[in-house]
A = this chain, B = another copy of it.
């Protein structure tokens, strides 16, 4: 049997992150304040350290990775590139399937790639506390561990329904020393307002973001950290694609298509952007496919417009594909993909038809996850199941056409803390959601008026 895992040594961990800005076909749209004018970096300094604000706006193609962060990357990076021989055999496809195994990070997903530099830069800036939100728990876990390793206290506003449904994600964060609160809390204006309206409010990601941002803005020792959407987060995640390119050189293959789940965009951007750099440089383009849930179809059914990042409207306005900031996605089990919008870079590339997007229904994603688990062994996170679904669909198309495409997806995380979702899938208790067009139009009608 040909080689299964393509490994790099610690010396192959990238020394620089890749920033897509200089390779974009046009300059990115500016971030706007409530007055409709571009936000200055200063306005962000209440909640972010200067180093991250600089990374948010930099136009340098290569941004150096600080040595203390590279040292911590060594604990699990470079992650393996794996040839999914058994999945290929099971499908009977002539396609070759590869995946990048980000699930072996100590925190269980790719989110740790950005949590470490965010904790590091905050520590360097003299910040002693970080607050953040978490839905599925992957980001909250990652920041908890990163804070522990750099000596920064971490408080996590965890969406209440997740707090109750995923008690062991909470345990994990506590084991790493973080404080975990069920959001909405009565510690913030945003939380108190929500509870006053409905004492049983189950929380939402947008509301948890609002609570965390409010706290960070009000305390000088405390900053805010976000696990996706923002430019600097996508920048940090580029280590995935940079490593993968080196590894594909070892395989003798090169991907024809790359699939990644897309919620806020850090997963997709992390694996896909470094390959886009080649396209921008005039090499044979790789088809880059963002995979989203049919229940939260920001790219495939949203509008390209300025919108807030949170539900309440506290954040600046970003140009993005959005379903409307107060769009409430149903309680699907891929909590990491329940977001109304998408990163500005991902949105811009999609708007300019340089990347593709596809939406897949929930049941089919779990079916793909179980197929993957039973062939490749690893039980994938529900978010990752979206990329696996789209990859399998393409592999089955190749079976019909006889095409020997090279397919590559990012296995962003394991599903060890999502087994209740698998239980519900096996028990026939999960459903597919397809939003009626009127509901989406109604939310879009409430978009802020800008420009």
Most chain B C-beta atoms within 10 Å of own C-beta, residue among A4, A108, A177: A4
Is A71 part of the contact surface with B, judged by Cβ < 8 Å?
Answer: yes
Query: Beta-carbon contacts of A365-392 to B below 8 Å, as 1s and 0s?
Result: 0000010011111110000000000000
Measured in the bound complex, the distance between the Cα atoms of B175 and A426 in whole Å is 8
Which of the candidate stretches A5-13, A266-274, A319-327 sits at the interface with the other chain?
A5-13
Measured in the bound complex, the distance between the Cα atoms of B167 and A370 in whole Å is 18
Asked whether A172 lies within 8 Å of B74 as measured between CB atoms, the reply is no
**With A7-B9, A9-B7 known to touch, is A420 a contact of B175 (CB < 8 Å)?**
no
Is A60 part of the contact surface with B, judged by Cβ < 8 Å?
Answer: no
Is A168 part of the contact surface with B, judged by Cβ < 8 Å?
Answer: yes
Q: How distant is A31 from chain B, measured CB to nearest CB, in Å? A: 34
How many copies of this chain are found per oligomer? 2
Is A61 part of the contact surface with B, judged by Cβ < 8 Å?
Answer: no
Query: Beta-carbon contacts of A1-43 to B below 8 Å, as 1s and 0s?
Result: 1011101011000000000000000000000000000000000
Q: Which B residues are CB-close (under 8 A) to A149? A: 86, 375, 377
Is A419 part of the contact surface with B, judged by Cβ < 8 Å?
Answer: yes
Which residue from chain B places its CB closest to the CB of A105 in the assembled complex? B377
Asked whether B1 lies within 8 Å of A71 as measured between CB atoms, the reply is yes
Q: Which B residues are CB-close (under 8 A) to A9? A: 7
Q: Which B residues are CB-close (under 8 A) to A76? A: 377
Measured in the bound complex, the distance between the Cα atoms of B173 and A374 in whole Å is 10
Q: Which B residues are CB-close (under 8 A) to A370? A: 175
**With A149-B86, A422-B171 known to touch, is A374 a contact of B176 (CB < 8 Å)?**
yes
Measured in the bound complex, the distance between the Cα atoms of B420 and A25 in whole Å is 51
Q: How distant is A101 from chain B, measured CB to nearest CB, in Å? A: 9
Q: How distant is A76 from chain B, measured CB to nearest CB, in Å? A: 8
Asked whether A75 lies within 8 Å of B377 as measured between CB atoms, the reply is yes
Within A62-110, which residues are at the interface with B (CB < 8 Å)?
A: 71, 74-76, 82, 86, 104, 106-108
11 other A-B residue contacts (CB within 8 Å) besides A4-B75, A5-B75, A175-B374: A3-B74, A7-B9, A106-B379, A148-B374, A149-B375, A167-B419, A167-B423, A168-B416, A171-B426, A172-B419, A174-B422
Shortest beta-carbon contacts, A-B, top 4:
A106-B377, A171-B419, A168-B419, A416-B416
